[in-house]
Amino acid sequence: MGAQRRRIAAGCLAALLLTAQTAVCTAALPERMESAVSGYTCADGYWVELLGPLREDSAARFCGKLETLREGALSDAAAFYWAIAPDKGVYTDPATTDYAAAYTYLEEHLEGMQGMDLAPALTLSDYYRTDRHWRQEKLGPVLQVLGETMGFSAPENFTLEQGDDFVGAYRPYLPGWTRTEPFYWLTDAVMESAAVENLQRPEQTSVYWEEALEGKNRYDFFLGGASPLVTIHSPQAATDRELVLFGDSFASSLAPLLCGVYREITVVDLRYLGSSVLEEYLDASGKEVLFLYSVWVVNNSAMLR
């Protein structure tokens, strides 16, 4: 009788766990799981980190950093653009990220730079279910927004590739029953011909690092993951234009899709490369500059060096 009660209780618990799809996911979890998933919610099967409201002190610091670079190390650049990579919490109901406040703040405080609003170009399904990142194969509308402002035609003839199913970077915080999902990326002849110089990982010489497909952080596949500076040389680009792209891992998955437009793309992550030494590694003269950090970085800008 005791064993039967335990089986019934276990079955009820499983039912409760599986029905926690659109509510805060800790609501139906046993106490031993709460610490592992607190700070996350599950909306329509998508796990979302609760980033909270805009921190204006952090946004001010972020704008100050960009302005200092524009007036200093990047003063000879040809043009300046910025955009915020939205967190997928922008698309939940209610939203768990105040992207609109972040965008408005940057728009009001970044002078001499042209902003681009990427939020209307994306939906919740354009992100991985178990990871904070957007899916590269869903970035066509994002490329169109960038192209309309920066003056290029977004490439379209990509080939879709698929890797093994995985659970994303939220894995340590999610319950064991979380389902896996496929990993996708795009390729074409232009990207395959591109050569990469990675300051952090010299052995990684192509836009995609295939070893990451076997690792815990699948998103490191794009440009080899976090690095202070990565330069992409694209001999088959349609133009001789050169781009300096400041960003995090969201920018790393976007950069390969620009190989058909820019002959050279330099990806800089200020979380790992100090602004004070930037001129030692980068000559921005005559190049276009795009700042594309996620809203999470805007809200935690103290990490930028």
The answer to whether residues 180 and 165 touch, using CB atoms and an 8 Å cutoff, is yes
Which residues fall within 8 angstroms of residue 240, CB to CB, at 6 or more apart? 263
Residue 247: beta bridge partners? 292
pLDDT of residue 273 exceeding 80, the answer is no
Cα separation of the two ends of the chain: 63
Closest CA to 223 of 245, 239, 240, 208: 208
Of 290, 292, 232, 284, the residue nearest 263 (C-alpha) = 232
Beta carbons of 40 and 47 less than 8 angstroms apart: yes
Largest CA distance in the chain: 79
Q: Which residues pair with 265 in a beta bridge?
A: 232, 243
d(C-alpha 158, C-alpha 107), whole Å:
33
Mean pLDDT of the chain: 83
Number of other CB atoms surrounding residue 115 within 10 Å = 17
Q: Grade residue 28 by pLDDT with cuts at 50, 70 and 90.
A: very low
In the block, tokens 């019934």 appear at: 8
Overall average pLDDT of the 136-153 stretch: 95
Looking from the CA of 257 toward its CB, the CA atoms found within 13 Å total 28
Residue range 74-97: mean pLDDT, rounded: 90
User: What CA–CA distance (Å, rounded) separates 81 from 145?
Assistant: 12
* pLDDT class of 38 with cuts at 50, 70, 90: low
At 13 the pLDDT is 31
C-alpha distances in Å from residue 101, one per residue of 61, 150, 232, 263, 294? 15, 24, 33, 35, 14
pLDDT score at 195:
96
The token pair at 9 is 């209780």
Helices (H), 154-294: 189-193, 249-254, 278-281
Query: What number is the average pLDDT over the span 235-263?
Result: 95
CA 144 – CA 139 distance, rounded (Å): 9
Report in angstroms the alpha-carbon separations of 162 from 10, 22, 180, 183, 185.
Answer: 36, 28, 14, 6, 7
Evaluate if residue 92 carries a pLDDT over 50: yes
Instruction: Please tell me the least confidently modeled range out of 23-27, 39-43, 139-143, 184-188.
Output: 23-27
Cβ contact 195:224 at 8 Å: no
DSSP letters, 189-224, are HHHHH-EEEESS-TT--SSB-GGGGGSS-GGGGBTT
Residue 232: count other Cβ atoms within 10 Å of its Cβ.
26
* 94 or 9, which is more confident: 94
By percentage, how much of the chain surpasses pLDDT 70? 88
Q: Which of 174, 81, 83 is nearest to 132 (CA)?
A: 174
